[in-house]
Amino acid sequence: MVQLTGKNIVITGASGGIGAEIAKLCAARGANLVLLARSMDKLEQLQNSLQERYQVKVDVFQLDVSDTNQVQKVFKQIDETINEVDILVNNAGFGVFREAHEATIEEIKGMFNVNVVGLMVCTSMVLPKMRERRFGHIINIASQAGKIATPKSSVYSATKHAVLGFTNSLRMELADFNVYVTSVNPGPIATNFFTIADEKGTYVKNVQRFMLKPEYVAQKVVNAMITPTREINLPRWMNMGSIIYILMPRLFERLGKRAFNKK
């Protein structure tokens, strides 16, 4: 059981899904929270619920991570409010499942601005103090899509490949500063992510029996906080696929073609 009492934890995309579940588990362990998302109504509802149930300090800020100026402004407010961030969970993200020729410029820019640039800018706002204090933990929610590219997720997969590249480099940069960096690579999770990503519902219907529960993913993330965990790969059998993909990419793509085209 990781000791989080009194730790200051910032979570982006905290209004629902695994972000909200991570917040609940952290509050149960006595952490102080800063919750960020675009939906202020949902954030305030979660804030009231957590403060009433766990008697912890919960601050909320409206934030669209794709807006760099807003990210800088909000993180300055966070700095004034709690002074030190112990753990940053970069959870905000979205995807749209389309073939490459169907993806609009707006969708491409939107996914990169939220999933990649937003994550990087949020991270840059807490790094100086973490390095100075020689303490902290950056947790980036990536995806198995960052390891195995599949049809109809070319742009989304590209953003998650970028997140993994950034995360792996950052981990090495911070190795001598006692700041941990963890990537979380889940398969499909039963959240409202697919409301946008899978408009037709085809993918959800085909993989529903394999979908992870957000509570389960959140538990794995919280258990890894303030530990030198390199990666969290869920489910394990799906991560084995990424290993085989690295070793035998051509065979993997040929044999997996039918499964990949279920979107």
Per-10-residue mean pLDDT, the chain, length 263: 88 96 97 97 98 96 98 97 96 91 95 98 98 98 91 92 98 98 89 58 57 92 97 85 82 72 61
Counts of helices then strands in the chain (DSSP H, E):
12, 7
Detail the DSSP E strand segments found in 149-230: 179-186
- Whether 36 maps to a domain, the answer reads yes
Give the C-alpha separation, 184 to 198, whole Å. 22
- Whether 187 maps to a domain, the answer reads yes
Cβ atoms of 44 and 60 within 8 Å: the answer is yes
- What's the pLDDT tens digit per position in 131-168? 999 999 999 999 999 998 888 889 999 999 999 999 99
- Whether 2 maps to a domain, the answer reads no
- Whether 1 maps to a domain, the answer reads no
Which residues fall within 8 angstroms of residue 218, CB to CB, at 6 or more apart?
18, 21, 22, 24, 25
Catalytic residue among 54, 156, 203, 245: 156
- Whether 3 maps to a domain, the answer reads no
Look up residue 230 and give its amino acid: R
For residue 135, count other CB atoms closer than 10 A to its CB.
Answer: 15
Give the C-alpha separation, 147 to 164, whole Å. 8
Give the C-alpha separation, 14 to 43, whole Å. 7
- Whether 40 maps to a domain, the answer reads yes
Q: Which residue from 114, 116, 139 is spatially nearest to 126, judged by alpha carbons?
A: 139
Cβ atoms of 171 and 164 within 8 Å: the answer is no
Write the CATH number for 22. Answer: 3.40.50.720
Look up residue 178 and give its amino acid: N
Structure-token pair, residue 56: 């912890």
Number of domains in the chain: 1
Detail the DSSP E strand segments found in the chain: 8-12, 32-37, 58-62, 87-90, 136-141, 179-186, 231-234
DSSP 173: H
What domain range is 199 assigned to? Answer: 8-260
| The pLDDT of residue 26 | 98
**156 is a catalytic site residue:** yes
